[in-house]
Structure 1
């Protein structure tokens, strides 16, 4: 049984210093530092009420309304970063989920949490702000390499949920392509061509992903979003 370990929202804040010489400490703004909520929070087509987005060009919107991360990933990030007991929300997620992960969650799956009905829309492409958040310039790249990115939901039916709610799998997508499989194809397309037919059958993934994979195949897709600026 999968459950929500934590429901988190955050406000956009400014970090870093104008005088910094280390790229990790130069100015940046983000709502990646999420705060766990005790009660029910309502979500509409743009996500949870009270949650903010700094970079609306690359984050937020109906196809990235709610970001979920698997609790099972925490031990891996703790080992990589050399930390212990990382708090929920470490990856800037809205939902920290126990019992589901990138290998079991498929694009197009429909989940019901409380009165909220969600559909898995795409993996998260890790950006440089994760590296700044944890003071490690390789953090975003490492997430990209492992495929343990977490996943986004689009909102099918607005509603409320809270920490402790169980996650009902209303429907599994017919194609059955996991978030991890999509990430493997996106990370190393030429080494995972066996996944291409399955990927091409997806009709529930966010628009643009099919073009992105084609561009990865012909080496015209930039992964600048992971580089610290």
Structure 2
């Protein structure tokens, strides 16, 4: 697996359907390396600390290969990497094959897989469609949150090398499905 883009965003206030929303979901690729700290990506806005950032969700990764699926459903959006609010766009990130606890060395960093991303109304705002949240919940294309075990810089082109495998744990897709069933989805 290789990093295709490193993405950060600024805090933004958006008026969506009469509601003022403060968000950091508008992320864009940057050309310089980004620093992954223990609770967040330096220089990246985190506006809801309950759902983003923190020890177990310091970095969000999303698969480049999932973009084609979403582009077919939403062909009129202004597509760019970072569209899902991810910090790392990774070429072959596959939730059905990656287990909670799997650990990767990338750049100067060691990352541990913690959980899938749960979509929220900010994704609906970004896609200008409330139905995207339900669609997101129905497929295993959730992306992955990582814990940073060793801080440092990563950059576009860095390769994620698996250094610990946890095949006895749930895959991210299995955990995502289990959580959605618990929530009646």
Length-normalised TM-score, structure 2: 0.93
Corresponding residue of 1:13: 12
2:162 aligned with 1:169? yes
Deviation at 1:102, TM superposition (A): 1.0
Q: How does 1:49-198 map to 2 (within 5 A)?
A: 49-83=42-76, 86-188=79-181
Deviation at 1:186, TM superposition (A): 2.0
Deviation at 1:125, TM superposition (A): 0.7
Deviation at 1:85, TM superposition (A): 7.4
Corresponding residue of 2:3: 4
Q: Aligned residues, how many?
A: 185
Alpha carbons of structure 1 residues 33 and 85: separation in structure 2 relative to 1, 3 Å: closer
Instruction: Indicate conservation of the 8 Å contact 1:108/1:121, yes or no.
Output: yes
Runs of 4 or more, structure 1, over 3 Å off, are none
Describe the superposition over 1:50-77 as per-residue Cα deviations: whole angstroms up to 9, x where unpaired. 0111111222111110000011110111
RCO higher in structure (CA 8 A, sep ≥6)? 2
2:34 aligned with 1:35? no
Tell which structure's C-alpha radius of gyration is larger.
1
Corresponding residue of 1:226: none
Instruction: Indicate conservation of the 8 Å contact 1:41/1:160, yes or no.
Output: yes
Instruction: Indicate conservation of the 8 Å contact 1:78/1:85, yes or no.
Output: no
Corresponding residue of 1:191: none
Length-normalised TM-score, structure 1: 0.76
2:44 aligned with 1:45? no
Instruction: Indicate conservation of the 8 Å contact 1:8/1:34, yes or no.
Output: yes
Greater share of helix residues, 1 or 2?
1
RMSD, aligned CA: 1.8
Structure 2: which 5+ residue stretches go unaligned?
none
Cα distance in 2, alignment partners of residues 113 and 107 from structure 1: 17
Cα distance in 1, alignment partners of residues 71 and 155 from structure 2: 26
Alpha carbons of structure 1 residues 99 and 147: separation in structure 2 relative to 1, 3 Å: closer
Deviates more, 1:177-186 or 1:5-14: 177-186
Cα distance in 1, alignment partners of residues 90 and 96 from structure 2: 13
